Amino acid sequence: MSSDAPLLQISGLDVRYGRRHALRDVSLRVSPGETVGVIGETGSGKSTLARAVLGLVPASAGQILVDGEDVTRYTKRQWRALRRRGVIQYVFQDPLRSLDPELTISDSLIEPLLVQGVARGDAVDRARLMLARVQLDDELLGRLPSGLSGGQRQRVAVARALVTDPAVIILDEPVSALDAANRVQILEILKDLRAAGVALIFISHDLGSVAGVADRIAVIYQGELVEDGPTHRVITAPEHVYTRLLVSSAPMLRAATVDRAERQALRELLHA
Ligand SMILES: Nc1ncnc2c1ncn2[C@@H]1O[C@H](COP(=O)(O)OP(=O)(O)OP(=O)(O)O)[C@@H](O)[C@H]1O
């Protein structure tokens, strides 16, 4: 396939939990090397989108293509095989969900490579390389996740996502649980990854965190994708009323003072 073909193409995706419609007709494409920020308030369906793309919840309608392969109707076994190939990786908000608490950092990092048949010595070399890439000392390799700080754990989770050289990494609120210093460090690492050509889907409720990293921003509101455009355009000329409210609530982004009256007017429009 040509190099500008999308790595991830979601078309008309619907996801239901029983009778609850969590996502409705969502379409999104991510090209090689692109960072797409997915923004939305709590309960809007952001994590459901991540779960659907990782095969953790089934699509009730629509289509998901990963690197040109239609994975929409994959069986559990096919998903396992796809994950094993390491094409698509993930980092969750809580690093303890991305890391096995009983595995040392070294084992966590080399496990995906051993599964792929990489020789142990080569896997350990690569694990050290990835740890350096997230600015961690390799003296941490022998520790368990419980022996690391929250910020260090999240960097290990990013390193683990990187070891298989994935085409796409989905990051679901990767900095929300971190303090300001660790948040900045992770965001800097994500910028480096983007510069290295890894496609990233960066899910967050915080427009400010995403705006500095993403090439494009997609906005989900009540299970629907209501806006999708280049970051600069979305911030300077938001089209949907919910995006306008988000932007006006983040005054640092537009270097303007908060206009309370405008925010109130937008809220009224949104809930009208
Ligand atoms: N396993 C589930 N069973 C039933 N409903 C669910 C389940 N998981 C999520 N939901 C519902 O689906 C909707 C979307 O949830 P989702 O977790 O995708 O939102 P979110 O935008 O990621 O929220 P948050 O930012 O709080 O994580 C919510 O109304 C939620 O209550």
**ipTM for this model:** 0.96
Q: Where are the alpha helices (DSSP H) in 39-117?
A: 46-53, 76-85, 95-98, 105-115
For residue 38, report the phi and psi dihedrals to the nearest 5 degrees: -115, 115
pLDDT tier, 122 (very low <50, low <70, confident <90, very high otherwise): very high
Please indicate whether residue 174, judged by its CB atom, sits closer than 6 Å to ligand 1: no
E strands, 18-78, in order? 20-30, 35-39, 61-66, 69-70
* Encoded amino acid at 27, one letter: S
CA of 35 to the centre of ligand 1 (A): 23
Please indicate whether residue 68, judged by its CB atom, sits closer than 6 Å to ligand 1: no
DSSP H or E stretch at residue 89: strand 88-91
Residue nearest to ligand 1 atom 7, measured at CA: 17
Please indicate whether residue 2, judged by its CB atom, sits closer than 6 Å to ligand 1: no
pLDDT reported for residue 259: 60
pLDDT tier, 1 (very low <50, low <70, confident <90, very high otherwise): very low
What pLDDT digit, counting tens, does each position of 200-230 carry?
999 998 888 888 889 999 999 999 999 999 9
CA of 42 to the centre of ligand 1 (A): 8
Q: What is the pTM of this model?
A: 0.88
Q: Name 232's Cβ contacts closer than 8 Å, sequence gap at least 6.
A: none
User: Considering the chain, what is the average pLDDT of its residues?
Assistant: 88
Residue nearest to ligand 1 atom 18, measured at CA: 45
pLDDT reported for residue 263: 67
Please indicate whether residue 204, judged by its CB atom, sits closer than 6 Å to ligand 1: no
Please indicate whether residue 46, judged by its CB atom, sits closer than 6 Å to ligand 1: yes
Please indicate whether residue 62, judged by its CB atom, sits closer than 6 Å to ligand 1: no
What pLDDT digit, counting tens, does each position of 128-183 carry?
999 998 889 989 999 999 999 988 999 999 999 989 889 899 999 988 888 888 88
pLDDT reported for residue 256: 45
**In contact, 23 and 61? CB cutoff 8 Å:** no
**Residue 138 has which token pair?**
């390799």
From the number of C-beta atoms within 10 Å of its C-beta (0-12, 13-18, 19+), residue 96 rates as middle
Please indicate whether residue 257, judged by its CB atom, sits closer than 6 Å to ligand 1: no
Residue nearest to ligand 1 atom 11, measured at CA: 22
Q: Which atom of ligand 1 is nearest the CA belonging to 220?
A: 21
pLDDT reported for residue 254: 53
Does residue 187 carry a pLDDT above 90? no
Q: Where are the alpha helices (DSSP H) in the chain?
A: 46-53, 76-85, 95-98, 105-115, 120-133, 150-162, 180-195, 207-211, 231-236, 241-248, 251-254, 260-271
pLDDT reported for residue 67: 87
Question: What is the C-alpha separation between 201 and 216, in angstroms, rounded?
Answer: 10
Please indicate whether residue 93, judged by its CB atom, sits closer than 6 Å to ligand 1: no
What pLDDT digit, counting tens, does each position of 30-52 carry?
998 899 999 999 999 999 999 99
Question: What is the C-alpha separation between 59 and 48, in angstroms, rounded?
Answer: 10
Please indicate whether residue 21, judged by its CB atom, sits closer than 6 Å to ligand 1: no
Residue nearest to ligand 1 atom 9, measured at CA: 48
* Encoded amino acid at 268, one letter: E
Mean pLDDT of 66-94: 89
Please indicate whether residue 48, judged by its CB atom, sits closer than 6 Å to ligand 1: yes
